[in-house]
Structure 1
Amino acid sequence: MEAFSSKNQLDMARNVHDLGSINKMREAIASGDESVLQEAAEQFEAIFVQMMLKSMRKAQDALADEDSPFNSQQVKFYRDMHDQQLATDLTAGGGMGLADIIVKQMGQSEDSYLPASVIRSDGNLNSLNRDRVVAVEQAQETVLASESKGVKSAAKDSMFDTPEDFVETLRPYAEQVAEKYGMDAKAIIAQAAVETGWGKFVIHNADGESSHNLFGIKANSKWEGEQAVVDTLEFNSGIPQKQKAAFRSYASLEEAVNDYGRFITTQPRYQQAVERTSDAHSYTRELQSAGYATDPNYASKIMAVYHSDRLNGLMP
């Protein structure tokens, strides 16, 4: 009777649209029924098959007639439901064999399959980059530790007391440049906030005067103005490294923001970003792709500030 009950529970779990299927699987596991492993493996294989069907559907949609009644959202909704159930039914009848392999390894029923409990650790793809991961963690821990102790670079200091002061001061300059070059003022301020920690870590000259450089723009051979040489954290193949670099120095914040707009719009490498200034997400992504910064998470950091409650509370 118990076996019959478990069998019914597993049969019902095969319906992917049954919202109680997960609970039924749990009940089957609690009953001690070994066949539940087979069911779990089949559902895992079903997910894999469903992903393949979804990829094929996307390729088909790209060539579909947009005006066709069979290309409506309603049709796609029910089509996806059908594909989900189809994937489950296909795997329940033998499928691709992936479920059988999972059962043999997880169930440890055959000596020819290495038990899951003793699989070597380098089966985890993250461990293939273990040295890089360790190096990144150590570098980040060093930076965080120094910040927590209040230790700052001698060439960087705060220009603003609060983020509110930072935004209110920059806003008129950012709006002016945004209107001139067709940019997003909030995206400009968000980038400056990431570069300087809301104005807490602004590059200063050797005499202690602010460079007003809020965007980390370096002084190349074509720059004829003042410079400030400071330590900076650059990423090489994802690994942060401390280097010295020369940055542009300005007489005022207005000059700095104007130079940013001019720098972005006149550099050929940022042409793709300039064409996407109306979309902050695309704009920042193109900036990173063009090599504006070596930080692999640069664009996502800017967008995190862009969508933050702090900035939106000051610039709706």
Structure 2
Amino acid sequence: MINSKYDQSRLVTDVQGLESLRKGARDDDPEALKEVARQFEAMMVQMIMKNARQSNEILSEGGFFDSDQLKMYQQMRDEQLSVSITKGGTFGLADVLVRQLSKDYGISTDDTPEVAQHNNIQGMLDRGRSFPASRYDPELMAQWRQEYAEERERAAILKAEQAEIKAQAAAAQAEAKALSEKLEKGFESPEEFVRNLYPAAERAARQLGVDPKVMLSQAALETGWGRYMIRDESGKNSFNLFGIKADRRWDGDEATVSTLEYRGGVPVKEKAAFRAYGSYEDSLNDYASFLQSNPRYSDALKNADDPAAFTKGLQDAGYATDPAYAKKIQRIMSSPVMAKAFSTPSNQG
């Protein structure tokens, strides 16, 4: 039997055990000689297993389990398995090496006559006939087969999960793209306008303390319920819901278009640059920030809980040049169109 002080060297990943074995070899320790011979025998077994693996790789190439990670773990398992298979000494090659090397280097192994007989070549052949490969370590072989089957099952499950995640991501991406393209075109009806904007309008309205319907009514007035969005020269949607212009305080994208302004009560067409956003929600949030950061709208914000006073305050502060701006917002807010838009089940907040 092998001395327990070299047991660690049988673990292919144990560097300390290998160092202990090297020291024993330098000291001509008979037990170290036996362990070296055993590990040489294990290398031969490992080469046989490696050749078998390579033959199998031809059949499994391109399959579920043809991966560098799996091959790495299989190689580590085969290395350890080869050591375990030779542990019982049933091959006999290690015994022959020990006898030959101990004679060549004058190392005494203290074998009994029975052990010496056991180590001769005829004994090796006899044991080979008595112990077929399936009996070397049946428990270990059964454990290996079970673990390999479980590993294959885990790999199959992982591959299926990854395929499902990939399919879900592709579906979500396609849905987001379709929605983005649809919103880029604008809205087809007041109901669609309210349904898509109400959640974001509600969040932005909390910043100001106003009714979300007031914000949506003002946005409906500015954009014709989202059907006439401000677009840049290339036709790209600016997502600007409130007609906020790009003055010197704005450092984002712009969209320059013709606009109708009232000068001395007379409508005049002018070219103006408007703020451009990445989404409708960005526009709603910027609207809230725009009012809060401008002192001239402070009186309007003091009446945020009163839609009529709030919109009148915006007009008085010069938000728009239209003299009927506040009344138009109030009419939209109380109009049958707005009531119908909010009567749709999905639009009821």
TM-score (norm 2): 0.45
- The structure with the larger Rg is 2
Tell me the TM-score normalised to structure 1 length.
0.49
